[in-house]
Amino acid sequence: MLALSQHQVEILEKCREKSAIVALMELAKRKDRTKFRQQVLNPLLDAKFLEMTIPEKPRSSKQQYRTTPAGRAALETRKRKT
């Protein structure tokens, strides 16, 4: 299972409601979109904790992200441990 960073936890919480990448970068205090995708978003997408709202157009300006049931379960498991 993916060990979640604090930024990833905050993003999963924020994405309980659909959120755009700009809002997520602001939350994580990141400015470089490419690094943000590689270091934060892609691991969450690969783990199926996060999903795109328009998966057929990953680079769409209207793209948003939302937490999957697996992502919500990971958050709940993490909360129980703390």
| CATH number, position 28 | 1.10.10.10
Banded model confidence at residue 80, pLDDT cuts 50, 70, 90: confident
Kindly report the length of the chain. Answer: 82
Name, in order, each residue with C-beta under 8 angstroms of 13's C-beta and a sequence gap of 6 or more. 67, 75
d(CA 13, CA 30): 17
For residue 70, the tally of other CB atoms under 10 A from its CB is: 14
d(CA 47, CA 75): 13
Say if 1 falls within a structural domain. no
User: 19 to each of 70, 71, 76, how far by Cα in Å?
Assistant: 18, 15, 20
| Number of structural domains the chain divides into | 1
Domain of residue 74: give its range.
6-81
Query: What digits encode the pLDDT tens for the residues 8-67?
Result: 999 999 999 999 999 999 999 999 999 999 999 999 999 999 999 999 998 899 999 999
**Model's pTM, two decimal places?**
0.91
